[in-house]
Amino acid sequence: MKHEMNQKKNKQHLITPVALAVMVVFSNGQAFASEDNNEEKAKVEVITVTGSRIQRAELVSSSPVSSIGEEQIQLDRAVNVEDITSKLPQAAAGANSTGATVGDSFGSSTIDLRGLGQNRTLVLINGTRAVPFSFRNSVDVNTIPAGLIKRVDVLTGGAAAIYGADAVAGVVNFILDDNFNGVEFSTSYETADGGNEKFNIEGIFGGDIADERGHITGYVSYAERSELLAGERDYALKNSTAMINEGGYYTDVASGNTFGISDTGSLVDSRETTNFAADRYLTQPMNRLSTGIIFDFDVNDDMTAYGRAMYSKVNVKGAGASGQTPIFVNEQVTLTQDNPYISDEIQNQLTFDADGNALVNVERNLGLGVQHTKAMRDSLQFQLGLKGYITDGLSFDIYGQYGQTDETATIFNNAIKINKNGESNFANIANTIDIFSPSLDFSEFSDPLIYATRNRTQSVLSATISGDSSPVFELPAGAVDFAIGYEYRKETGKQTPGDAFRNGTSFSSISAFDMDASFSSKEFYVEMLVPVVEDVAFADEISIEGAYRISNYSNTKAADTYKIGINWAINSEIRLRANKLTAFRAPNLGEFASPITALSLSLFDQNSDQFVARLAGRYDGDPCLLGTGDATQCAAFGAASVGTPFDSSTAQYTFGGNPEIKPEEAESSTVGLVYTPDFIEGFNLSVDYYNILVTDAVSQIQPGAALQSCYIDNPDPSNPLCGAVLRDPSTGLISTAIVNDFNLASIEQTGIDIAINYLFDAPREMGGKFKLSYQGNIITKQTRQNNSTVPETDCKGTYGSSCSGDFASILQADYKHRATFDWRLDDVSLQLGWRRIGEVDYSVDRSETISAQNYIDLSSSWQVSENVAVNLGIDNLLDKKPPTPLIGANHFNTVSDYSVIGRTVGIAVRYTPSY
């Protein structure tokens, strides 16, 4: 029955529940040629194309799609999906294991296509939406089982007409092997000098059930990643910030006398400091348990039920919202003359009043070590669907999908500063313990503090009817294929902060907000594939693709979107393709519903003890105090004079959502060439030009940009950006930087994607096959205009937060590639890889240049026996160190998009038992 059903499916244009994937792939899945076969010649397979809901019998999609296949994934020894996506030329860093992840990313790994922002990249699993974890709609791709991934497809440009909102920069579709047969066990291990060890063990099983009427695939895996501390890398310790030591520094308020306590407990005149940078996480430790099943079952000859259930539990430690600065006291306390811990030497420095009290300002590291946030994230997703035939020419597909992410973030090595009575906990114990002792143990003073719990859900209901026009009519070139459907989606987000961060009573200068919000969408869509010409001079085939989606959102007025594409197969060797598409990105929960939250400006100030490296570039000081601002403009706003001391911890950095926010809108154009010449056997080439223009882009005016515009670039009192940074009218110092979400920006990127594959015989004396593969991205234009009052910024070939899509990635390289050379023998394959990131300049003024960075990788695979396969490899073979620019770094003196780990060595073993 199953066999009969499959035969019937091959005769029809049956819509699958997922728009599975892509091109016909070369053996490593990087382009669109078939696996080499006995004739060692490419052959075409029946596929379904990412970016379309209509099956194809050959590569005719007008949309440019690149792909990474299972063999390459195995050569890369991927433990996490991040290990796969980090090498894509089309992708920027996003949030990743080496980012400090201040904010709501909490140790996640996200995808940022084109550097346009992780919130503008749609992530799919087998063609349907993956459940987000954050209020910014980002997906933690490390919850996807790396061992079950058959292929990763990357679709360029807007795809809202096919998939709905969020596909502005493009789509990344993870194709899981839902037809696995047998049992496979695998394990992998990878390490770098000093840490960042990664370990994974996984089991996969699959087979037919119920007399071959159905199939089930299941998996279970466990993975760990250990930390790599900054102290293991010399570059990470440059320019590191020192803070007050555990002995402390004391000021007698009445007399002004000051003294410090050294690390050995001696009284000294100076302020003693300690450097904690070596203990910070360069990479974040993580462990993950994943399990799930994928199934289908033939209900009868014309109907199949299908679905999946996926669960992952991730525990990860990172900087979190509090950063990693150790907590310290800086407050005035009353010390009593009968305090037994005050030595005669110290007592001589203090002024006691008639009641025997001395008012003393205490600065002291509490010695609890660096802070860190532990995020525990449970993610699950269920899907259940039914597909089949209505008539011989008409099919249906209905599915429901529910996903949920529950997360608890807990901050360690912090403490409650203010008790329930509003009193200082430290001041209350200042006379009962020896606060002058550098060896004093404050561990009982600290408890793990819950920062926030967060719940995120996504529900989808989709129904599609598809088929072709043959029962009614056919055009001279054939029948018209179509798909018509409806999709309902609801997203909810709820956050409950811990009491200490709701009330602001912890030692951290951070707060968390309550939120309970949701939105829903109802969408109708239609897609058509119209054959225009077939088998005529200069046109083996010409077809037109069209799609249109009508969207209705509960939280905003959404735009309708469309796609129009053309495929022109000039002959069997040359195919041209072009697209015009529109897309939109609806306001996510964080943008329209999150309340205003305040942080200390000191977290963004590189001259502050509380500075968080991940936040570099958002605030670079007050031009009026530095003397770089226009004097007349500074006077007009009552700014303090040049050189006035400023403690940034007294100012706030406020951010949050905006209920009036509108959707972002985007237009994309692509034009491409696919070339498979008959006279060069095994050679394939694709070249695709693309242009993406985003208008009404959600943007935030960072205080550094606002101050630069108001006081330096455009010192006009009517400049609206001046209102983004408020001053205390009594002191003239900055009091508040307002960083809310607004539809302010426009972003444009134009570029070219190139993919080349060439499989050919190795010299006879060597034997086997050689294969050359190349994937490259060339950006010819990239601009960003943060709002209409400021000029457009040329972001092509730059780094820095002023050109960042959402500040997760700050590198806008105008050239990236990955090239590989393979030598394939019967049981052994060797691969030499070359990754290159082009030269970039500092985005603000191009005053600093980072030269092009090259990484060499070496991989091998060995089929030891029929049951055992081994992969060995070295990434960053030459141990290339990351660049350390003098300005604009965002992560330990470098940029997190580069390889910060150094050389890594790994091994993976797969065992497939005979049965």
pLDDT in tens, 293-332: 999 999 999 999 999 999 999 999 988 888 888 999 999 9
Are residue 357 and residue 255 in the same domain, yes or no? yes
Spatial contact of 120 and 158, defined as CB atoms under 8 Å apart: no
pLDDT at 141: 85
761, part of any domain = yes
Cβ burial 159-173 (10 Å sphere, 16+ → b, else e): bbbbbbbbbbbbbbb
Provide, rounded to the nearest whole percent, the portion of the chain with pLDDT above 70: 92
Residue 13: pLDDT above 60?
no
Same domain, 112 and 215: yes
Neighbours of 854 (CB within 10 A): 12
Closest CA to 797 of 776, 807, 782, 784: 782
Structure tokens at 240: 């590191």
Phi first, then psi, for residue 346 (nearest 5°) are: -75, -40
Residues 673 and 574 in one domain: yes
- The per-residue DSSP string of 460-482 comes to EEEEEEEEESTTT--BTTBPPEE
CA distance 151 to 78: 13
pLDDT band with cut points at 50, 70 and 90 for residue 631:
very high
pLDDT tens string 60-107: 567 788 888 888 888 887 777 888 888 888 888 777 766 544 455 666
Residue 40 is predicted with a pLDDT of 37
Q: What is the pLDDT of residues 755-783, one digit of tens each?
A: 999 999 999 999 999 999 999 999 999 99
What pTM value is reported for the model?
0.85
CATH number for 46: 2.40.170.20
Q: How does the average pLDDT of the chain come out, rounded?
A: 87
Reported as a pLDDT band with limits 50, 70 and 90, residue 265 is very high
Give the span between the Cα atoms of 19 and 30, in whole angstroms.
19
User: For residue 55, what pLDDT band results from cuts at 50, 70 and 90?
Assistant: low
Q: How far apart are the C-alpha atoms of 405 and 419, rounded to whole Å?
A: 33
- Rounded CA-CA distance 17/5 in Å is 16
Domain check: are 249 and 158 in the same one? no
Side-chain half-sphere exposure of 550, counting CA atoms within 13 A: 5
Please state the φ and ψ torsions of residue 911, each to the nearest 5 degrees: -125, 125
Are 128 and 247 within one domain? no
CB 569 within 8 A of CB 575: yes
Q: Which residues contact 905 (CB under 8 A, 6 or more apart)?
A: 190, 191, 192, 873, 874
What gap in Å lies between CA 257 and CA 271, rounded to an integer?
A: 13
Burial (CB count <10 Å: 0-12, 13-18, 19+), residue 720: middle
Contact 88, 154 (CB under 8 A): yes
* 568-572, 602-606, 865-869: the lowest-pLDDT one: 602-606
**Lowest pLDDT segment from 480-484, 595-599, 732-736:** 595-599
The residue among 255, 287, 355, 354 whose CA lies nearest residue 107 is 287
Q: Are 260 and 249 in contact (CB under 8 A)?
A: yes
* Domain-ending residue, one of 740, 768, 789: 740
Q: Tell me, what amino acid is at 826?
A: D
**Claim to verify: residue 492 and residue 577 sit in the same structural domain:** yes
Which neighbouring-strand residues pair with 830? 823, 860
Does a structural domain hold residue 232? no
Within 10 A of 605 (CB to CB), how many other CB atoms are there? Answer: 25
Residues 20-46: tens digit of each pLDDT: 333 333 333 333 333 343 333 333 333
Report the SS3 class of residue 691: strand
Region class of 460: left (phi > 0), else alpha (psi between -120 and 50), else beta: beta
Q: Say if residue 559 is in the same domain as residue 638.
A: no
Of the candidates 302, 492, 310, 307, which has an alpha carbon nearest to the alpha carbon of residue 398? 307
Pairing of strands 121-125, 170-176: parallel
pLDDT digits (tens, 9 = 90+) for 361-398: 999 999 999 999 999 999 999 999 999 999 888 999 99
Please provide residue 294's backbone torsions phi and psi, each rounded to the nearest 5 degrees.
-130, 135
> Does residue 787 sit within a domain?
yes
Q: Domain total for the chain?
A: 3
Give the residue carrying structure tokens 């300005």. Answer: 887
Tell me, yes or no, whether 130 and 202 share the same domain: yes
Token couple for 180: 């696995």
Strand partners, 372: 412
Q: Which residues pair with 255 in a beta bridge?
A: none
Distance CA(110)–CA(140), nearest Å, equals 5
> Is the pLDDT assigned to residue 15 strictly greater than 50?
no
Contacts of 804 (CB under 8 A, 6+ apart): 115, 117, 810
On whether residue 234 sits in a domain, the answer given is: no
435-462: per-residue pLDDT in tens? 999 998 888 888 899 999 999 999 999 9
Residue 233 lies in a domain: no
CA distance 592 to 656: 8
Residue by residue, DSSP assigns 39-81 as T-------EE-TT-SSEESSS--SS-EEEEEHHHHHHTT-SST
Computed from CA positions of residues 262, 265, 266, 269, in that sequence, does the dihedral angle turn out positive or negative?
Answer: positive
Residue 545: phi and psi, rounded to 5, are -110, 140
**Rg of the chain over all Cα atoms, to the nearest angstrom:** 30
Q: Residues 692, 169: contact at Cβ < 8 Å?
A: yes
Q: Is 50 exceeded by the pLDDT of residue 360? A: yes
Instruction: Give me the sign of the Cα torsion angle 700, 703, 707, 710.
Output: positive
Is the pLDDT score of 164 beyond 50?
A: yes
Give the integer Cα–Cα distance in Å for 95 and 745.
22
Question: Does residue 338 fall inside a structural domain?
Answer: yes
Is residue 427 in some structural domain? yes
Give how far Cα 677 sits from Cα of 38, 303, 542, Å. Answer: 20, 41, 19
- Selection from 555, 556, 566, 503 nearest residue 529 by Cα: 566
Range of the domain at 123: 2-227+284-321+374-412+450-591+662-700+741-911
Report the pLDDT averaged over residues 806-827: 88
Same domain for 256 and 174, yes or no, is no
Give a yes or no: residue 38 inside a domain.
Answer: yes
Q: Does the pLDDT at position 561 exceed 90?
A: yes
Residue 783: CA count within 13 A, CB half-sphere = 12
Which is higher by pLDDT, 614 or 599? 599
Are 747 and 735 found together in one domain? no
Q: Say how far apart CA 451 and CA 503 lie, in whole Å.
A: 11
What is the SS3 assignment for 759-802? EEECCCCCCCEEEEEEEEEEEEEEEEECCCCCCCEECCCEECHH
Q: Is 111 helix (H, G, I), strand (E, B) or coil?
A: coil
- Please check whether residues 44 and 174 belong to one and the same domain: yes
Instruction: Enumerate the β-bridge partners of residue 452.
Output: 409, 497
Lowest mean pLDDT, pick from 268-272, 421-425, 608-612: 608-612
Is 647 found in the same domain as 572?
Answer: no
Structure token pair of residue 701: 């005016």
Largest CA-CA distance found in the chain, in angstroms, rounded: 108
